[in-house]
Amino acid sequence: MPLATSDTVGILADNLRLRRSVLPIPAANAIRWTEGLHLARGGERVLYTGQMYQLIPYIEQMVATQEKLGDSWLAGFTGFGRRVNRVLNITSFMAHPGVDERSVYDRIPHNVALLLRRAGVEFGSLFDEDLYSGALIYDLGVDEVLKAHAQKVYEVFQKYGVKEAITIDPHTTNMLRTVYPTLIPGYDLRVRSYLEVLADLGYGPSRKLSGEVAIHDSCVFARYEGVVEAPRQLLQQTGLTIREPEHTGTSTWCCGGPAESLFPKTAAAQASRRVSELRAVAGRGVTMCPLCFVNLQKAAGDTMQFEDISDYLLQACQAEGLTEEIANGH
Amino acid sequence: MAVLDPHFVDSVRLDDSFNASACMNCGICTAVCPLGLEHLPREIFAYVVLGMKEEVLRHQDTVFSCLLCKLCEVNCPAGVHITENVRALRHYFDSEVFQIQGGPGDAASHV
């Protein structure tokens, strides 16, 4: 089935404009990661997810639908579909991930909250007002829609008096820290990745993990935001031996993820090439972006196991027996 | 024979950061591109600067398949803002070809 780029971009932009996300997901599922954490709403500092990890199981189901439909996951809905989607959220009918699929991605922001608490950082959450940043729409060049959305996101920060956002993934970090200041006059939010926060404060886990991991830098962290040393510094403290692939650090290779919404076959081919590089140096890989994680794991299949960096960082603290205590904010 | 539109570059340019004309065609971008894109950025940037609109429109898939990974840009000896230039090209397609910028000309904005 031929790809209609114009309608695919149109549906994604319409969703952001009308529903505040490229792929709207139920609010209850977007905030499930906060369960048991007893977080306050708002405050001067918040942990901000931009829904990136929570979106992944939905995107994956859309991609699975695409494989049945043709070359793009929206191929069967283009043209007529875009017109329908303006009044009825058709993308919501295409993805219903189960608890197991969602829990993997809910775990990551929960991990990060525990790690920040352990480091003595006080923060709240914006819960259902923790909105998608608009990263994909920025990449696709739909600047007018993005600008209006960025203003909505910033108004939520202002409403709760937020001065600092601690981000998790590279795309939300880049949007809030580097892109939004170019769109919003007077924008003054301080934005740091949790990896930078933990590296600055001192992480120092008590338990040593063993083994080798191939590190996969996110393009956005490494080349857009200069986040290269913090993840290495933290991983070294876990005791893991970091193996660097041929393309690494500021010369990292892309996972292919940015091409997935329009050219999934291109994305898959790039992911396979990247997995080959990573597999050449270690049997396990570590990622720091949900898109990298899902693309690389999918390409690797059973030949290589990937973990999000927060999983390793928390595993190295588990011997401390603090997880339950930290979760309760004590 | 190619039709040249001397104003085409101005319709693509979002702001002063658009600097496709700084490209000196050295080929480093092509050498490092993980996708091995043949036409982007050098060839398509040249079409824009020369006003060869039809050639740019013919390469829509190439413009939208770039990963924006920035590996070319950090290695560019001429300081071309490759990713921002590619975004400007996408913006051109969105607004002038696809009519999907959410503005007055976009039917979606009237729903």
- Has residue B105 got a pLDDT over 50? no
pLDDT band, very low/low/confident/very high, at B3 (cuts 50, 70, 90): confident
Across the interface, whether the CB atoms of A259 and B65 are under 8 A apart is answered yes
- Tell me what ipTM this predicted complex has: 0.91
Give bridge partners of residue A165 from the DSSP assignment. Answer: A46, A191
Note whether A178 contacts B: Cβ–Cβ < 8 A: no
Q: What is the mean pLDDT of residues A299-309?
A: 97
Q: Tell me which of B37, B64, B84, B97 to substitute to probe the interface with A (most A C-beta atoms closer than 10 Å).
A: B64
- Has residue B28 got a pLDDT over 90? yes
Q: Which of A41-50, A255-264, A312-321 has the lowest mean pLDDT?
A: A312-321
pLDDT value for B110: 42
Q: How many CB atoms lie within 10 A of CB B4?
A: 12
Q: Token digits for A104?
A: 């993997």
Note whether B65 contacts A: Cβ–Cβ < 8 A: yes
* A245-296 per-position pLDDT tens digit: 999 999 999 999 998 878 888 999 999 999 999 999 999 999 999 999 999 9
Across the interface, whether the CB atoms of B98 and A273 are under 8 A apart is answered no
Note whether A223 contacts B: Cβ–Cβ < 8 A: yes
Note whether B61 contacts A: Cβ–Cβ < 8 A: yes
Across the interface, whether the CB atoms of A141 and B34 are under 8 A apart is answered no
Give bridge partners of residue A164 from the DSSP assignment. Answer: A45, A190
Domains along chain A?
A: 5-199 (no CATH), 203-320 (3.40.50)
Cα A169 to Cα A109: distance, rounded to the nearest angstrom = 10
Q: What is the mean pLDDT of residues B80-100?
A: 94
Q: Token digits for A71?
A: 């070359």
Note whether B97 contacts A: Cβ–Cβ < 8 A: yes
Give bridge partners of residue A212 from the DSSP assignment. Answer: A241
Q: Looking at beta carbons, which residues of chain B come within 8 Å of A138?
A: 87
pLDDT value for A76: 56
B/e letters for A97-108, b = 16+ CB within 10 Å, e = fewer, are beeeebebbbbb
Across the interface, whether the CB atoms of B102 and A256 are under 8 A apart is answered no
Cα B33 to Cα A242: distance, rounded to the nearest angstrom = 25
Quote the percentage of chain A above a pLDDT of 90. 67
Give bridge partners of residue A190 from the DSSP assignment. Answer: A164
Across the interface, whether the CB atoms of A263 and B61 are under 8 A apart is answered yes
Note whether B35 contacts A: Cβ–Cβ < 8 A: yes
